Amino acid sequence: MPADPTFRMTVQEVFSIKGRGTVVTGRIDSGTINVGDEIRIQKGSSSRTVVVSGLEINRKALTRAQAGDMIGALFKDLEQGDIQQGDALTGSDLDFSWKP
């Protein structure tokens, strides 16, 4: 399902859970995110679409999170090396690259 186009979160930490996938943590800057949403990983001028497999706040499973929430988002089809601290998760294909 398409994500909220206003969703944005900067990645703070990344780790893997064997047999489950990769977890990305951070505080949601704007918008909302739901389990099943297709969101974008923004790395400068490149991006990739991934599907949210799970959401948690303080080890409590959620189906939805909103701006201000500090979350862990699980991605089954993402390797730990595919994303890093400082990357952005967004609900639309935005270009965050710096252009002089």
**Domain residue spans in the chain?**
8-90
- 46 contacts: CB under 8 Å, gap ≥ 6: none
Per residue in 33-87, pLDDT tens?
999 999 999 887 778 899 999 999 999 999 999 999 999 999 998 988 899 999 9
Q: What is the pLDDT of residues 8-23, one digit of tens each?
A: 999 999 999 999 999 9
Nearest CA-CA partner of 33 in 75, 53, 3, 59:
3
Cα separations in angstroms, 83 against 2, 10, 27, 60, 79: 20, 11, 16, 23, 8
What is the model's pLDDT at position 14? 97
Single pTM value for the model: 0.87
pLDDT attached to residue 43: 83
**DSSP conformation class of 77:** T
Q: Which fold would CATH assign to domain 8-90?
A: Elongation Factor Tu (Ef-tu); domain 3 (2.40.30)
* Helical spans, DSSP H, in the chain: none
Cα(72)–Cα(62) distance, integer angstroms? 10
